[in-house]
Amino acid sequence: MSMITIEKIQELTEKYHGEVAGIRKELHRFPELALQEYRTSEYIQTYLQKLGIPFTSGYAITGILAVIEGNKPDIKTLALRADMDALPIKELTGLDYQSEHPGIMHACGHDAHMAMLLGAARILKEVSAELEGRVLLIFQPSEEKLPGGALRMIEEGALSQFPPDIVIAQHVMPELPSGTAGFCPGKYMASTDELYISIKGTGGHAAMPDQITDSVLIAAQLLVSLQQLISRMAPPGIPSVLSFGRIEADGACNIIPSEVKLFGTFRTLDENWRYQAHEKIKKLCEGVVTAMGAACELEIQPGYPAVDNDSALTAAAMDLAAQYLGHGQAKAIQSQMTAEDFAYFGRLAPSLLFRLGIAGKEGLHSKPLHSPFFSIDEEALKTGVGLLSWFALSLLGKD
């Protein structure tokens, strides 16, 4: 096991905190959408070159894989992953480093994820003689948009030369205070599938419903029926969510449109039930819409699988976090129905996605993810850099 102490890691995180905070601000100012992270990728590559860390790039267009070799690199390989893309949100924080790309914002903390991984890279490179193995740094594009960048990086061979034995990622969490981290073993985040439904009939005058097909009413009935499917047919012990966030009915007060479109998402923590639900949704859509005199077209676009945190790895990391952060600062958290394509890395090796607290004092920096007001407490960057470094040094030295 590494002889590097917690105190040494904390000393180094303090030493490089200003630099890491500056990296995060620079990345925040110039956010880029999924698979368009060209400037972001160039910035990361320049920094890795500065540190003398070898890397390859171009995976999933903008993705990067960097490698830090320890004293016995072939004994064990641990991968650390950060996502790169921003969201199509207009920032309203008013920060002096607010987004300079109109309508695009790092509202999910990916700027912080990248900055903290680069901070950990700096530390791990500096103490690489103490690394009993190899550390991979994965900078992954397109986490926010299906089909995601993780699977594409894997399929393009990013990890084929050095298959990881462990894969770890962190994600900021506004609900947790700075200086803490959250852990959940087993199924932690849901699978996510997108639903596109088109109801087609014969539109016409709203005053003559007997002469047309009321596609709006059919859509309303279908929405209610689909919610009943989840509440009455889903196994009670399996969390499931079906939500529709967009309806297009291009009519008017006195015009019933010929077509109504519904856009939704289905999420669950169980892969078997996931695909059973797909079939039930298909049958229900066809049955309800046909019975009411219209035609139905349904596309279900499968998305990310559920994130499954390896129980033994999670327990080990939680113990290490408690050592590093202090008693009570490593917290047990509940599973949630958000989704992450980090799940694909979990199919390669034991994996862990943990949460980093970012809420400052007096409730500052606690706006939810994907909010135009989202920001982080910069003190949390020290915690994230330190934990990534400590996990790498400690877990590479363990069986």
Phi, psi of 389 (to 5 degrees): -65, -45
Output the CA angle 344-345-349, nearest 5 degrees: 125
Q: Which class for 349: exposed (0-12), middle (13-18), buried (19 or more C-beta within 10 A)?
A: middle
Catalytic residue, chosen from 143, 144, 259, 378, is 143
Q: Kind of pairing, strands 77-83 and 166-177?
A: parallel
165 labelled catalytic: no
Whether residue 242 contacts residue 197, with contact meaning beta carbons closer than 8 Å, is answered with no
User: CA quadruple 289, 290, 295, 298: dihedral positive or negative?
Assistant: positive
* Residue 133, C-beta contacts closer than 8 angstroms, at least 6 positions apart: 70, 72, 73, 75, 76, 77, 78, 396, 397
Distance (Å, whole) CA 64 – CA 238:
36
In the numeric block, which tokens belong to residue 252? 């008017």
Point out the catalytic residue in the list 32, 37, 83, 85: 85
User: Nearest-CA neighbor of 182 among 330, 287, 313, 327?
Assistant: 330
Burial class of residue 31 in the structure, from the number of CB atoms within 10 Å of its CB (0-12 exposed, 13-18 middle, 19+ buried): buried
Cα separation, 94 vs 373, in Å, equals 8
Listed residue (353, 363, 67, 380) closest to 185, CA to CA? 353
Query: 6-15 and 379-395 are packed helices; what angle lies between their axes, rounded to 10 degrees?
Result: 140
Question: Whose CA is closest to 139, among 160, 116, 155, 162?
Answer: 116
Residue 83 a catalytic site member? no
Give the active site residues.
85, 143
